[in-house]
Amino acid sequence: LRKIEGKISLRIPKNYPTVKFLNYKNRKRILVTGGAGFVGSHLVDRLMLEGHEVIAADNFLTGRKRNVEHWVGHENFELVHHDIVRPLYLEVDEIYHLASPASPPHYMLNPVKTLKTNTIGTINMLGLAKRVGARVLIASTSEVYGDPTEHPQSETYWGHVNPIGPRACYDEGKRVAETLSYAYMHQEGVEVRVARIFNTFGPRMHMNDGRVVSNFILQALQNDSITIYGNGNQTRSFQYVSDLVDGLVSLMSSNYSQPINIGNPVEHTIKEFAIMIKNLVGGVSKIVELAAVEDDPQRRKPNIDRAKKYLNWQPKVSLNNGLKITINYFSKELKKTKHSQKD
């Protein structure tokens, strides 16, 4: 009991980060679905610090309360345990709709739920936006381009997606989410914003996320083999999470309603990426090649001319700096895990 009391007393009183004071006219009520996830929690931080009232709705499928616990109890913040596949009745000015598993192993675990979340969940958010006159931003993805035949990918490219492959639940789910957004815009006058997000990384990615950045960093930190799927010649372009949050907030406040790529155009092969992480972490990990995964997109790099033109946005954080921060985060997480195993 003393141990528990000690832990509780550590958390009271709460030292909230300083939030800007916004008068009633400028303060918005903002719903972030998936607000306890990796990207959602960073967005919640930004909106809270700007002085808005924020409601994070999450079913904790892949997110964690820990990601937003520093706001729990703050008068501007509310955490709602809610599955977005069910209707949600709230009064809000803006909705950032991020709820959806995002990592391939996560979304493939339950393809039906992934589809329901991106279709029915998106209908619910568009229905809510329609009822209360809120603007809604949909977190779409570079996966709408599938395994692209156009490189780099511009928003005008229609994509190359296998509709029945292992990634289809996510790719097609997001494509329908976009279709729904524009149907609600044209038919019901809902104000929509569509962000096509490219690979993003940073602190608060789940240890078991399964995406390449967290996998490689954790493997390197533990001197395990760094696992490349296939020959490693496939490419990705990685953006740091604070750049994405800047892009999402700019898009929400812009007048631009067509889809817009938000990503860092600096492209690397997965093999180069493995070497880069191994060098940054140090250690004695071997880099090994495993079997390729089905329908793995071979090249991915955003054309960000639209974001530059309409949002005056471009990424600021270099891959190297972003990786250093993220490696530091995972190194601390590993120590915490070891410590709690000892407890």
The site string for ligand UDP over 127-166 (x = CB under 6 A, - otherwise) reads xx-xx-----------------------------------
Q: Which of 30, 32, 36, 248 binds ligand NAD (CB under 6 A)?
A: 36
Q: Which of 124, 140, 181, 242 binds ligand UDP (CB under 6 A)?
A: 124
Q: Which is nearer to ligand UDP, 36 or 95 (CB)?
A: 95
Residue 198 CB, nearest approach to ligand NAD (Å):
6
How many binding residues for ligand NAD (CB under 6 A)?
Answer: 28
CA distance 243 to 45: 14
CA distance 39 to 247: 12
Residue 316 CB, nearest approach to ligand UDP (Å):
22
Name beta bridge partners: 289.
228
The runs of H, that is alpha helices, within the chain are: 2-11, 38-49, 104-109, 111-132, 168-188, 212-221, 241-253, 270-281, 305-306, 319-342
Site residues for ligand UDP, 207-226, by CB under 6 A, read 211-212, 215
Q: Which amino acid is at 179?
A: T
Q: What angle do CA 59, 247, 307 make, to 5 degrees?
A: 135
Catalytic residue check, 170: yes
The site string for ligand UDP over 273-312 (x = CB under 6 A, - otherwise) reads --------------------x--x----------------
DSSP 8-state class, residue 264? -
The closest residue (CB) to ligand NAD is 63
Helices 212-221, 319-342: axis angle to 10 degrees equals: 60
Please check whether residue 100 is in contact with residue 57, taking contact to mean a CB–CB distance below 8 angstroms: no
Q: Which of ligand UDP, ligand NAD, none does 58 bind, CB closer than 5 to 8 A by kind? A: ligand NAD
Active site residues: 170
